[in-house]
């Protein structure tokens, strides 16, 4: 094992996708694998997704092209580009693209060449992030209608702001706005076959938002989109492990790591883990998070450094070389990504996605 290993259980990933697809009933499922598959590794995750669901989604055209370069051939949507994006290789690779403005639609058309772009028009229904402003939607629909001979408007879509709070009034408001935008597009003569709005949280809590496709990210990785929500029968896919690089005894009153932000109250044994914020382990995890050694939880003590951090082993029998689990499914007593998120005041998405640096990914269940 390297200094830090992200172990990814692709059997669990596929099982999660199948579970979500069953919740989505008649809608097709899109596996969202952006940002390196939320830290799990984009290409292996997408390859596994292809075995069980029809769609894969990523944010940027660059990510989509990387998937195609890996041999991926199935239905693939990307949705985030800046002006000046070179759509030619994207369209030539048969990737579905998103238009959020008239200018973007024109850029896509200008790059079409011999291809017939498959375009999903995106309406902003209240997230106030990406997507056409509602005031600009009629113009975007009209521009797409006029270009009908040269492209296919295959989808209309939007994204929720508050789906992780199922009772939040914004959810109903956004869905109503989406229905209105769809009706406007249909009145103007567009005939999209794919309407899509739901992310993971809406997939599990809001069947009325499923339409034709659901876009699932976090839940497919076995993490609950609603932190204290129902048990969905999903299994965390990622386990993060390292090994003790060193074990030593310190006396009462000795400080640990930069700034001596932790001082031993009694003589104890400390263990060194060769991973730090260079691998995306938050510096703030020091003195707050726990890891597991031989099934026992031990506290991270002192600040996390760039390449290493320290745990207080207390009286746990542990030797250099022993495995340390930072977080995982929780089955063997280790914390989960949700536990880390709760302690650090963030969301499970950030805990897994920010991992990087000198990490080695290993996979179970790859084919």
Ligand X SMILES: *Cc1c(COP(=O)(O)O)cnc(C)c1O
- Catalytic residue numbers? 34, 258
The dihedral built from the CA positions of residue 182, 188, 190 and 191, taken in this order, carries a sign that is positive
Rounded to a whole number of angstroms, the CA Rg of the chain reads: 23
Provide the 8-state DSSP code for 241: E
Residues whose CB is less than 8 angstroms from the CB of residue 119 and which lie 6 or more positions away in sequence, other chains included: 96, 97, 98, 99, 105, 108, 144, 151, 152, 153, 154, 155
361: tokens are 């990914």
Q: How far is the CB of 37 from ligand X (least distance, A)?
A: 11
**Binding segment (CB under 6 A) for ligand X, from list 85-93, 195-203, 230-238, 297-305:** 195-203
Which of 155, 222, 225, 328 is in the footprint of ligand X by CB under 6 A? 225
Q: Show the DSSP H helices in 24-92 as ranges.
A: 34-38, 42-50, 61-69, 88-92
Q: How far is the CB of 283 from ligand X (least distance, A)?
A: 25
- Which is it for strands 97-99 and 255-256: parallel, antiparallel or unpaired? unpaired
Q: H or E stretch including 275?
A: none
The whole-angstrom distance between residue 336's C-alpha and the CA centroid of its chain comes to 16
Which of 10, 32, 58, 304 is in the footprint of ligand X by CB under 6 A? 32
Q: Is 81 in the site for ligand X (CB under 6 A)?
A: no
Residue closest to ligand X when measured from CB atoms: 217
d(CA 57, CA 29): 10
How many chain residues interact with ligand X (CB under 6 A)? 13
Site string for ligand X, 126-165 (x = CB under 6 A): ---------------------------------x------
Q: Is 216 in the site for ligand X (CB under 6 A)?
A: yes
Residue closer to ligand X (CB basis): 199 or 308: 199
**Binding segment (CB under 6 A) for ligand X, from list 64-72, 146-154, 213-221, 233-241:** 213-221
Q: Is 236 in the site for ligand X (CB under 6 A)?
A: no
Residue closer to ligand X (CB basis): 151 or 198: 198
Binding site for ligand X (CB under 6 A): 32, 34, 59, 79, 159, 199-201, 215-218, 225
């Amino acid at each position: 094992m390297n200094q830090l290993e992200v172990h990814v259980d692709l059997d669990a990933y596929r099982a999660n996708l199948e579970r979500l697809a069953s919740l989505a009933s008649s809608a097709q499922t899109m596996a969202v694998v952006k940002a390196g598959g939320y830290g799990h590794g984009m290409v292996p995750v997408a390859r596994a997704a292809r075995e069980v669901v029809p769609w894969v989604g990523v944010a940027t055209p660059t990510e989509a092209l990387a998937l195609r370069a890996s041999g991926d051939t199935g239905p693939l949507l990307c949705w985030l580009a800046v002006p000046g994006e070179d759509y030619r290789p994207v369209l030539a690779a048969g990737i579905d693209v998103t238009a959020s403005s008239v200018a973007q639609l024109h850029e896509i058309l200008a790059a079409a060449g011999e291809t017939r772009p498959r375009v999903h028009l995106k309406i902003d229904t209240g997230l106030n992030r990406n997507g056409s402003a509602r005031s600009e939607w009629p113009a975007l629909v009209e521009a797409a209608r006029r270009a009908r001979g040269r492209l296919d408007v295959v989808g209309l879509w939007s994204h929720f702001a508050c789906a992780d709070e199922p009772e939040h009034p914004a959810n109903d408001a956004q869905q109503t706005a989406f229905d209105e935008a769809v009706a406007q597009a249909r009145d103007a003569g567009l005939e999209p076959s794919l309407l899509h709005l739901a992310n993971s949280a809406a997939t599990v809590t809001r069947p009325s938002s499923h339409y034709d496709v659901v876009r699932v990210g976090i839940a497919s990785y076995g993490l609950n989109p609603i932190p204290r929500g129902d048990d969905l029968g999903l299994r965390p896919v990622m386990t993060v492990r390292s090994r003790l690089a060193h074990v030593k005894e310190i006396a009462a009153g000795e400080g640990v790591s930069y700034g001596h932000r932790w001082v031993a109250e009694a003589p104890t044994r400390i263990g060194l883990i060769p991973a730090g914020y260079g691998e995306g382990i938050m510096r703030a995890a020091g003195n707050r998070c726990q890891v597991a050694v031989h099934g026992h939880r031990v506290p991270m003590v002192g600040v996390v450094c760039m390449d290493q951090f320290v745990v207080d082993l207390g009286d746990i029998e542990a030797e250099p070389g022993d495995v340390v689990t930072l977080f995982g499914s929780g089955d063997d007593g280790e914390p989960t990504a949700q536990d880390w998120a709760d302690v650090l005041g963030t969301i499970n998405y950030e805990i897994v996605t920010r991992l990087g640096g000198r990490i080695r990914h290993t996979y179970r269940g790859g084919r």
